Amino acid sequence: MDTRSSARRRSGFPTFRGSLVFWLILWMIFSKPCSVSSCPRLCICYPAPMTVSCQSQNFSNVPAGIPYDSQRVFLQNNRITELRAESFGFGTQVLWLYSNNITFIEPGAFSDLRDLEELDIGDNRNLRSLNPDIFRGLDKLQSLHMYRCQLGSLPGTIFQKLYSLQFLYLQDNNLHYLQDDLFADLVNLTHLFLHGNRIRVLSENVFRGLVNLDRLLLHENRIRQVSRKAFRDLGRLTILFLFNNTLSELPGPALNDLPSLQFLRLNGNPWSCGCEARPLWEWFRKVRVSSSELVCSTPEDKKGLDLRFLREIDFAPCPLPDLGLGKTTSTFSTKTRWWFPKSLNGNEQLKGIHGSKKKGSISSWDEAKPQPSSFYNKSPKIYSPKDAEESLPKIDTEEYWANYENEDATIRCFEEDCQNEGSFRNTGVRTGVPDLYKLALSLTVVMFFGRL
Ligand SMILES: *[C@@H]1O[C@H](CO)[C@@H](O)[C@H](O)[C@H]1NC(C)=O
Ligand SMILES: *[C@@H]1O[C@H](CO)[C@@H](O)[C@H](O)[C@H]1NC(C)=O
Ligand SMILES: *[C@@H]1O[C@H](CO)[C@@H](O)[C@H](O)[C@H]1NC(C)=O
Ligand SMILES: *[C@@H]1O[C@H](CO)[C@@H](O)[C@H](O)[C@H]1NC(C)=O
């Protein structure tokens, strides 16, 4: 009984050992060359997430042989001039094509990229126009980079149905005009960067639908006119930059549509501070917003003053406003100048404080900042820095001003790749490591069983 069963065990074992070795050898043959052969020449591939990095290789076309299951494909810093319908024979979530020389994108070029979440075609300085259907079907697209091209205009339907889009970077192009409802489907958009273009007018419906927008950068354009309804849907906007434009007026009602606004920059505009400025001045009196200065250009007697700190008496000759701000205006008197420290006396001193104002510090401004409207109906209140501090916006102002003018810095890397771009070459070594490891493991196992 005993001997029979042990004999059976002994005779069965070689079969088991043989098949194990057979499968291990098969696995070695097929698994190893596979991951090597599928990486295009001059590119570096590594797994988890499956990444194909072909940057800075002087490619003039999208290289063939990029594996279909690639999750990230990096093709930046090459000389690619055209994207064709057959260029992308793979599905990927992240596709970087920035800093090439793309001049033409054939309709349908991106239409197979159903899983695409991030597309960067920025810094292609000869890209002047785009087909209206170019992003059609990119249902999962969250981040779209088209900065620093030469886009002169955008087809009115180009962003249709991009419901997942959260970040849209269009800065530093030649855009001179934005159609009504251009962004109407972008319900999830939080960042819209349009600075460094040639936009002149913000019409009533230009930002319609952007109900989740958090920051809107429009500085360094040629904006001279803003519709009083232009910001109607932007109830969640916290940052608005309009500096370095040609605005002389901004309708008070437009800003009234921005209840969440925390940071506003309006400097570098030729503000006119006559009666037409009253709605804007009123608005500043009732909100709590960190703002840049607003230097008056006209009329002559107000030139150089800050619009925010004009006095009630400056508007004395003006007809009373009726712009939906009525309630608070009637309770003002020239005595209620409670927001300045007692020792200060109007614009001259304020200019003294702010004259040397540096980036990175808004404290001097905040000390002289108007209090919330709840104080309005009370008797003249003694200024207290503590109150001013408590009325600060909830965003971390230090952090905000530390990043001042760096708002368009966008994340160029993921997770462990974030040290620097050069490290992609090194991370490529990781392709080899698991294979060597696998080989050593297989040999050990084979030897172990072989000896039994
Ligand atoms: C890139 O390709 C062009 C033409 O194909 C060639 O003239 C140039 O020397 C190449 N540059 C590099 C850095 O290989
Ligand atoms: C970009 O491509 C255009 C033709 O499409 C060519 O004329 C131009 O020289 C290229 N620019 C660079 C920097 O390679
Ligand atoms: C907005 O994005 C969230 C998650 O990113 C998604 O669940 C939601 O469906 C999006 N909204 C629309 C209207 O697609
Ligand atoms: C605004 O424009 C002025 C004059 O054109 C320029 O000197 C200044 O640097 C600009 N400001 C910013 C923040 O770009």
Residue 160 lies in a domain: yes
User: 98-103 contacts: CB < 8 A, separation 24 or more?
Assistant: 98/122, 98/123, 98/124, 98/145, 99/123, 99/124, 100/75, 100/76, 100/124, 101/125, 101/126, 102/126, 102/127, 103/127, 103/128
Shortest-distance ligand to the CA of residue 211: 3
Q: Answer yes or no: is 31 within a domain.
A: no
**How would you class 30 by CB atoms within 10 Å of its CB: exposed for 0-12, middle for 13-18, buried for 19 or more?**
exposed
pLDDT surpasses 80 at 438: no
Q: What is the pLDDT of residue 19?
A: 64
- Residues 150/125, Cβ–Cβ less than 8 Å: yes
Asked whether residue 121 is assigned to any structural domain, the reply reads: yes
The alpha carbon of 164 and the centre of ligand 3 are apart by a number of angstroms equal to: 5
Residue of higher predicted confidence among 387 and 107: 107
The set of residues, in sequence order, having a beta carbon less than 8 Å from that of 383 and lying 6+ positions away, is: 338, 339, 340, 341, 342
What is residue 75's predicted lDDT score, i.e. its pLDDT?
A: 95
Looking at the structure of the chain, the number of domains it has is 1
Domain-embedded: residue 146:
yes
Task: Examine residue 383 and state whether it is found in any structural domain, yes or no.
Answer: no
Check residue 130 and give its pLDDT: 95
Q: What is the pLDDT of residues 208-262, one digit of tens each?
A: 999 999 999 999 999 999 999 999 999 999 999 999 999 999 988 899 999 999 9
Rounding to the nearest 10 degrees, give the CA dihedral for residues 432, 437, 439, 441: -170
Q: What is the pLDDT of residue 252?
A: 82
Task: Decide whether any atom of ligand 2 lies within 6 Å of the 101 Cβ.
Answer: yes
Q: Give the atom of ligand 2 at the shortest distance from the alpha carbon of 82.
A: 5
pLDDT at 181 over 80: yes
With a 6 Å cutoff on the Cβ, whether 268 touches ligand 4 is: yes
Q: Considering the domain boundaries, does residue 393 fall inside one?
A: no
Task: Evaluate whether 27 touches 47 at the Cβ level (below 8 Å).
Answer: no
Task: Give the residue whose CA is nearest to atom 8 of ligand 4.
Answer: 244
Entry pTM:
0.69
Within a domain: 22: no
- Closest C-alpha among 94, 52, 60 to residue 77: 60
Strands 44-46 and 51-53 turn out to be: antiparallel
Strongest mean pLDDT among 84-98, 176-190, 386-400: 176-190
pLDDT at 449 over 70: no
What is the mean pLDDT of the segment spanning 76-103?
Answer: 93
**pLDDT band with cut points at 50, 70 and 90 for residue 15:** low
User: In the prediction, which pLDDT does 444 show?
Assistant: 55
Task: Compute the distance between CA of residue 444 and CA of residue 449 in angstroms, rounded to an integer.
Answer: 9
Ligand 3 contact, 163 CB (< 6 A): yes
Is 349 a member of any domain?
Answer: no
Q: Is the CB of 60 under 6 A from ligand 2?
A: no
In this structure, of 179-193, 243-257, 305-319, the range with the lowest mean pLDDT score is 305-319
> Tokens 């104080």, residue?
375
Percentage above 90 pLDDT, the chain: 52
Yes or no: say if 237 and 260 are a contact pair by the CB < 8 Å rule: yes
CATH number of the domain to which 108 belongs: 3.80.10.10
Query: Does the pLDDT at position 74 exceed 60?
Result: yes
- Cα of 406 vs centre of ligand 4, distance in Å, is 15
pLDDT of residue 318: 82
Average pLDDT over residues 106-123: 94
Q: What is the mean pLDDT of the chain?
A: 73
Q: What is the pLDDT of residue 27?
A: 54
Looking at per-residue pLDDT, the higher value among 136 and 6 belongs to 136
Per-residue confidence (pLDDT) for residue 364, from 0 to 100: 29
Q: Which amino acid is at 219?
A: H
Mutation pick for ligand 4 pocket among 244, 269, 295, 407 (CB with most ligand atoms within 8 Å): 244
Instruction: Give the confidence band of 331 by pLDDT, cuts at 50, 70, 90.
Output: very low
- Provide the domain limits for residue 129: 39-171
